[in-house]
């Protein structure tokens, strides 16, 4: 009789231990998911903030090279970002910023951000359109291709500009209605630098 009671006690102890281990693991996974979701949200918010600052400075009087370096350095604490210089190698999970200045009058100035998959697949077109404004209407032939043309957001109303001279072009892996869509690059274009 004592052996039956001992077996029952051991069994209940073992069962209790398993329940605690399972409960502990599931709450730890939940905490990690929340932490990761919070990190994704924070990176997205900081990335949108960076884009907004660069677009604003570019539209309202220009952006000196030193200012772009300072902005990039200050945002590098929130997500990996570097200004690309010819011949440099860029780490795989880093946002790469390139600048194409207009060399003659009438040429647009462009600042491009190439997004790594880890960041681009978590950044949504909805977040960008909620912040900067709606996507411009697609052209007639826009859906004829396997990969979409870049989407455009006019930044006139967002930046409170007197004329339509600033836009954002977004290259993505799929069309806006796709559930899983990776944003590959974002280009800010100032037509009147």
- pTM for this structure? 0.75
146-155 burial code (b ≥16 CB/10 A, e <16): eebbebbbbb
Contact predicate 179/173, CB 8 Å: no
Per residue of the chain (193 residues), what is the pLDDT tens digit?
A: 566 665 666 555 555 555 555 555 544 443 333 346 678 888 899 999 999 999 999 998 778 888 999 999 999 999 999 998 888 888 888 999 999 876 677 788 899 999 999 899 899 889 999 999 998 887 655 566 666 778 899 999 999 988 888 999 999 988 787 778 889 999 999 988 7
The two structure tokens encoding residue 166: 């600033």
């Amino acid at each position: 009789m004592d052996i039956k009671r001992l077996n029952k006690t051991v069994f209940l102890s073992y069962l209790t231990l398993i329940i605690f281990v399972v409960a502990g693991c599931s709450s730890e996974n939940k905490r990690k998911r929340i932490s990761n979701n919070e990190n994704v949200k924070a990176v997205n918010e900081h990335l949108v903030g960076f884009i907004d600052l660069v677009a604003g400075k570019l539209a309202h009087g220009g952006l000196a090279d030193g200012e772009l370096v300072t902005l990039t350095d200050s945002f590098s604490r929130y997500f990996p970002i570097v200004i690309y210089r010819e011949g440099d190698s860029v780490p795989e999970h880093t946002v790469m910023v390139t600048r194409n200045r207009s060399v003659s009058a009438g040429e647009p100035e462009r600042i491009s951000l190439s997004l790594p998959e880890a960041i681009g697949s978590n950044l949504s077109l909805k977040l960008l359109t909620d912040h900067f404004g709606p996507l411009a209407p697609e052209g007639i032939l826009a859906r004829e291709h396997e990969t979409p043309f870049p989407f455009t957001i006019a930044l006139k109303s967002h930046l409170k500009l007197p004329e339509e001279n600033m836009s954002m072009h977004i290259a993505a892996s799929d069309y806006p209605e796709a559930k899983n869509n990776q944003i590959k690059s974002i280009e800010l274009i100032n037509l009147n630098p």
